[in-house]
A and B are shown apart, each in its own frame.
Chain A
Amino acid sequence: MGSSSGDLRYELSQNAYIKLVLHSLNHPTSSVNGVLIGRISPSNDAVLIDDAVPLFHSHLGLLPQLEISLMLIEEYFSAKGLNIVGYFHANERSDDYELGGVAKNIGDHICRYFPQAAILLLDNKKLEALKKSKDRSAVTQVSSLYVRDASKNWKLVQSEGNSRFSLREPSANLILLDYISTEKWKGIVDFDDHLDDISKDWLNPGLFN
């Protein structure tokens, strides 16, 4: 197969990145989560995260809605040759940097189908710093990467100063800051919204127009 998670790089596309951050901003008082969609690179040395689907902003620890969403999402993207390659989580409290039980369990579940899956945890301090600095050329993104080690424990990958976790497009933060200033997060639809009203599209097709 490909390399073990110990060597793989993870590359986050602009679309996925922006969707996930906007989703978090749309629900500032709850924890939110989402799945990462992508594939292994042709050179077998990286996981390319092409897209993301925001999942829930309430009762993240309940199974039924998770099972349904994973089924439908997997079904949609496998037709395009893509898999669920990871999980995104944003904690309820802005100063909570711990990867909780729910996140780890969902990550484990995704690993059963895609062994090199990663978890991204939103880092609120970095998000606040980005908003304040308005440094549009910043290439550090605002989440932390976790992968499973040989004993199947989730470990934080230090992304400062190494290239294991990067944004694919250098313009990502620029676009993100623009979207934040125009309050674009209001239009984001997640799976919770879809289940409450199925006419709402969890693919968010009009978001980047």
Chain B
Amino acid sequence: MVTKTEENQLNRLESQVDNAGGGAWEYLCLVRKLKLRRSDKVLKHGLSILNNPSKRSALGPEEWTLYEQVAVAAMDCQSLDVAKDCIKVLRKKFPDSKRVGRLEALLLEAKGSWELADKAYSSLLEDNPLDQTIHKRRVAMAKAQGNIPGAIEWLNKYLEIFMADHDAWRELAEIYVSLQMYKQAAFCYEELILSQPTVPLYHLAYADVLYTLGGLENLQTAKKYYTSTIDLTGGKNTRALFGVCLCTSAITQVTKGKSKEEKEGSQVQSLAAKVLEKDYKQRAPDKLPQLTTALKSLTLSS
């Protein structure tokens, strides 16, 4: 996950490089560090360094890292010739490297030669059975071929071994959501909240999934997690504020007449509504009328 400062720094560098203001190497390093997918930019600016012999030699040993980064970006942009050339250079420099072997298998993937890629990954795994990247490529290949059940199977197997990989849990949750398998998605977010209880993103996603599942118990739990998100984000998370309003309204609809926590429930909701209205007034005043009407209809039904 990227922080706000990092995002600002990235955008600043990106526009600087795009407008020929220099800083290409800095930009490429930041993209690599934050593990972002900016393949078209990486390809363009990376190549401009690699094709310039003086710039290239100025990199020293980092030259090879750049070849690798550009190769992957080229594959993402389907510039397979560029990728092939970069990999050739790397192969020449590191003849026995498994890391280059991975790139070669990735190139097979990019070409759509699934069986050959699978063979290549399997043989690489024989020597390195705990190579996380290769395991993840298996999932990616299944997904790319449209074999979503296969991707789920591989991903679950992966998580049995590498259960601390948060990104993998998130990926699995997202796949489940896309297939409308909300109970399974909820389980993934539960794992994430257990291991990283102070990350508001997981609370929010969990609440969203529970709300989507519906039913009184899920709605009540969702409301709790929207509230904890608001807590963890200092009341600044618009989605969580809306979530509280939606939950309160939905809960009241489900429990028509069996009012227990009516007063307490509507307190949180009216607080959230107030914060939303204040925020919209300040930052999106032309959208305020619709917000007010929507909030009114939500509070009226509760």
**Which residues in chain B, 27-81, are within 8 Å of chain A measured between CB atoms?**
37
- Contact residues in B for A198 (Cβ distance below 8 Å): 238, 279-280, 283-284, 287
Known contacts A198-B283, A198-B287, A64 near B179 by CB under 8 Å: no
Decide: A63 and B294 in contact? CB cutoff 8 A: no
Minimum CB–CB distance from A181 to chain B (whole Å) comes to 14
From A93-101, A116-124, A167-175, give the one contacting chain B.
Answer: A93-101
Question: Looking at A64, A93, A101, which has the most chain B CB atoms within 10 Å of its CB?
Answer: A64
- Contact residues in A for B279 (Cβ distance below 8 Å): 198
Per-residue 0/1 for A147-176: is the Cβ within 8 Å of any B Cβ (1 yes, 0 no)? 000000000000000000000000000000
| B297 is an interface residue with CB less than 8 A from chain A | yes
Decide: B146 and A59 in contact? CB cutoff 8 A: no
- Contact residues in B for A67 (Cβ distance below 8 Å): 246
Considering the chains assembled together, what is the distance between the CA atoms of A93 and B207 in angstroms?
Answer: 28
Per-residue 0/1 for A43-67: is the Cβ within 8 Å of any B Cβ (1 yes, 0 no)? 0000000000000001111111101
- Contact residues in A for B290 (Cβ distance below 8 Å): 71-72, 75-76
Considering the chains assembled together, what is the distance between the CA atoms of A63 and B209 in angstroms?
Answer: 8
Decide: A93 and B205 in contact? CB cutoff 8 A: no
Minimum CB–CB distance from A34 to chain B (whole Å) comes to 17
Minimum CB–CB distance from A184 to chain B (whole Å) comes to 15
- Contact residues in B for A95 (Cβ distance below 8 Å): 146
Interface size class of B (residues with CB under 8 A): 20 to 34
Considering the chains assembled together, what is the distance between the CA atoms of A63 and B238 in angstroms?
Answer: 15
- Contact residues in A for B286 (Cβ distance below 8 Å): 201
Minimum CB–CB distance from B197 to chain A (whole Å) comes to 21
> Binding site of B, secondary structure by majority: helix, strand, loop or mixed?
helix
- Contact residues in B for A201 (Cβ distance below 8 Å): 284, 286-287
Which of A60, A63, A96, A195 has a CB less than 8 Å from the CB of B146? A96
- Contact residues in B for A207 (Cβ distance below 8 Å): none
Question: Looking at B143, B279, B280, B293, which has the most chain A CB atoms within 10 Å of its CB?
Answer: B293
Known contacts A71-B294, A76-B290, A195-B238, A101 near B284 by CB under 8 Å: no
Known contacts A29-B37, A71-B297, A72-B290, A60 near B178 by CB under 8 Å: yes
| B208 is an interface residue with CB less than 8 A from chain A | yes
| A31 is an interface residue with CB less than 8 A from chain B | yes
| A102 is an interface residue with CB less than 8 A from chain B | yes
Minimum CB–CB distance from A22 to chain B (whole Å) comes to 16
| A209 is an interface residue with CB less than 8 A from chain B | no
A: number of interface residues (CB 8 Å):
30
**Which residues in chain A, 176-209, are within 8 Å of chain B measured between CB atoms?**
194-196, 198-199, 201
Decide: B208 and A62 in contact? CB cutoff 8 A: yes
Closest to A70 in B: B294
| A138 is an interface residue with CB less than 8 A from chain B | no
| B193 is an interface residue with CB less than 8 A from chain A | no
Considering the chains assembled together, what is the distance between the CA atoms of A31 and B177 in angstroms?
Answer: 12
Decide: A64 and B243 in contact? CB cutoff 8 A: yes
| A127 is an interface residue with CB less than 8 A from chain B | no
| A129 is an interface residue with CB less than 8 A from chain B | no
Considering the chains assembled together, what is the distance between the CA atoms of A59 and B209 in angstroms?
Answer: 10
Minimum CB–CB distance from A155 to chain B (whole Å) comes to 21
Decide: A61 and B212 in contact? CB cutoff 8 A: yes
| B211 is an interface residue with CB less than 8 A from chain A | yes
- Contact residues in A for B208 (Cβ distance below 8 Å): 59, 62-65
Which of B37, B211, B284, B291 has a CB less than 8 Å from the CB of A64? B211
Minimum CB–CB distance from A101 to chain B (whole Å) comes to 5
- Contact residues in B for A93 (Cβ distance below 8 Å): 143-144, 146
- Contact residues in B for A58 (Cβ distance below 8 Å): 174
Known contacts A76-B290, A101-B180, A64 near B212 by CB under 8 Å: yes
Q: Which residues of A line the B interface, CB within 8 A? A: 29, 31, 58-65, 67-68, 71-72, 75-76, 92-93, 95-96, 100-102, 105, 194-196, 198-199, 201
| Given A61-B182, A198-B279, 5 additional A-B pairs, CB 8 A | A60-B178, A61-B179, A71-B297, A198-B283, A201-B286
A-B contact pairs, 19 of them (CB 8 A): A58-B174, A59-B205, A61-B212, A62-B209, A62-B211, A64-B208, A64-B243, A72-B291, A72-B294, A75-B289, A75-B290, A93-B146, A95-B146, A101-B180, A105-B180, A195-B238, A198-B279, A198-B283, A198-B284
